[in-house]
Chain A
Amino acid sequence: REKRLTLPPSEITLL
């Protein structure tokens, strides 16, 4: 859970 919180958000791509 700790690790999960440190992961960065993702960019968003329009396809």
Chain B
Amino acid sequence: PGLLEPMSTLVRVPKSASTLGIAIEGGANTRQPLPRIVTIQRGGSAHNCRQLKVGQVILEVNGISLRGREHREAACLIAEAFKTKEKDYIDFLITEFN
């Protein structure tokens, strides 16, 4: 269903560094209902993949929708996705629009 989001893009981030290297803000019941990327750290996996940008909103992580999830829950899902050894990448469904 996430793929039906207008103007959304699937970005696969290989785990190329020991950190993911993004900061997010937002989550359900805040002014920013879906997590938005506010920082990309140089040298992190996200920076290395060159496709994630500050300001993008994350709709899904490995096919799991972040809609309705509070900030901490969304952050945990992303942290778990980075930590798991099942995959050597994370798929983000992102949109440029809030």
Contacts and interface: CB of A to CB of B under 8 A. Distances in A.
Q: How large is the interface on A (under 10, 10 to 19, 20 to 34, 35 or more residues)?
A: 10 to 19
Contact of A12 (B38, B41, B78): B38
Q: How large is the interface on B (under 10, 10 to 19, 20 to 34, 35 or more residues)?
A: 20 to 34
Contacts of A4: 31
Contact of B71 (A7, A13, A14): A13
Contacts of A8: 29-31
Contacts of A10: 25-27, 30-32, 71
B75 A15 contact: yes
Nearest to A9: B31
Interface of A: 4, 7-15
5 contacts: A4-B31, A7-B31, A10-B26, A10-B31, A15-B19
